[in-house]
Amino acid sequence: MAQFYDVALVALEGYFASRIREYCGQFNLPFFLVEPIWANDFLAKVNDGAIGVRVLIDMASDAHEPDNVYFGLAKAVKAAGGYVINDPELGALAADKGLFHVKLEQNGVPVPKSVVIQRSQVETYRITDELKTQIGVPFVVKPGWGGGALGVNINARTEQDLLKCAEVAPNSDSFLIQRRIKPRDLDGHVGWFRVFHVLGEVIPCWWEPPANQYQLLTPLQQRVYRLGPLRKISKDIARLSGVEFFSTEICFTTEREFLAVDYLNTDCDMHPKSFFPTGVPDEVVRHIAWLLVNRGMSVVKKGRGYFDEELEEKDQDWVERRRLGLLVPGE
């Protein structure tokens, strides 16, 4: 007889994994953390039918990495009838920035002026005067596939920068040349945001590169600075991609435009700010963990999660309470 886990998690951040484990324990959901040491054996047992997973929270897949064990696990769980956050097929398609950029443009989602170049074109591509007029100099070069800023050059000027990007990101089939954008100053805040979309809920944060400092964006700030487009853009990206859990970078530019810059990251960094200076605010990490486990509860119990009402009552004002200093550690 197969050993079943209601929730399995693929994530490398210990604090986040502990919160998922804690919530699963509170509501009697058998849980397994798929750490690297167990990953291959766990996948083999899922394929053999010795282990079953009802809900897999996947935060480490790489569909473009040959023989990626986590992507294999996501596909295996889905094939066996499990529910995967995020669906491995949808995530793989949407994470290709070259393809997804075109889809966003076609559907009216605001993005920087860009040119998408296929790998087969890289060797012969030329940065013409017409292109320089269109996108400006310096410009941004980035691979269509990849993370962690691998291959990204925000001060590119020539074809050599494109060639270097292609060399550094060998798994990417396409590359983007983009206009550099400048964020607007909002009373000392940089108009650059990382917005989390979690199962239909939108959680916007200030995010200020290159320091990468997070702060919660409060409802009051959203109203004062008229930041409603952050929510709409995030919702549109979710609708067009079908991906349920991701983050996106959005810039409010000096020209008063809202532009999606880094469209869709499915391997969201969940390192907490209390341990890492550039980490995500702890209450955001806890809240995301709560939302994911609640969805797991809903799937496992074939209906409404047992604590939806408690979630709504307790956390509907969690952002404002944090801003006012009313939250205590562990709440």
pLDDT in tens, 89-140: 886 667 778 888 888 989 999 999 888 888 888 888 888 888 888 888 898 9
Mean pLDDT of the region 213-234: 93
Q: In what order do the strands lie in the sheet with 114-118?
A: 114-118, 174-179, 139-143, 153-156
- Contact in structure between 207 and 196 (CB atoms under 8 Å): no
* Dihedral (Cα; 60, 64, 68, 73), 10-degree rounding: 70
Cβ proximity of 60 and 70 under 8 Å: yes
Its pTM stands at: 0.84
Report the percentage of the chain scoring pLDDT > 70: 88
Domain ranges of the chain: 3-93, 113-179, 185-323
Q: Give the pLDDT score at 313.
A: 47
Peptide bond into 36 cis (omega under 30): no
Q: Percentage of the chain with pLDDT > 90? A: 48
CATH C-level class of 185-323: alpha beta
Smallest Cα–Cα separation from 282: which of 232, 226, 322? 322
pLDDT band at 233 (very low <50, low <70, confident <90, very high): very high
Residue, of 229 and 316, whose pLDDT is higher: 229
Which tens digits make up the pLDDT trace of 1-48? Answer: 678 999 999 987 889 999 999 999 998 999 999 998 889 999 999 999
Q: From the options 3.30.390.30, 3.40.50.1100, 3.40.250.10, 3.40.50.20, give the CATH code of 3-93.
A: 3.40.50.20
pLDDT of residue 283: 92
Q: Residue 77: name the closest of 48, 93, 59, 53 by CA.
A: 53
CATH of 113-179, one of 1.10.760.10, 3.20.20.70, 3.30.1490.20, 2.40.50.140: 3.30.1490.20
pLDDT band at 330 (very low <50, low <70, confident <90, very high): very low
Burial of residue 134, with CB atoms counted within 10 A of its CB: 0-12 exposed, 13-18 middle, 19 or more buried: middle
Q: CA–CA separation, 320 vs 24, rounded Å? A: 27
Q: How far apart are the first and last CA of the chain?
A: 39
Question: How many other CB atoms are there within 10 angstroms of residue 205's CB atom?
Answer: 18
Residue type, 48: D
pLDDT at residue 152 tops 80: yes
pLDDT higher than 50, residue 331: no
Give long-range contacts, CB 8 A cutoff, 24+ apart: 249-252: 249/192, 249/193, 249/194, 249/195, 249/207, 250/192, 250/193, 250/195, 251/181, 251/183, 251/191, 251/192, 251/193, 252/183, 252/184, 252/186, 252/191, 252/192, 252/193, 252/225, 252/227
Residue 281 confidence (pLDDT): 93
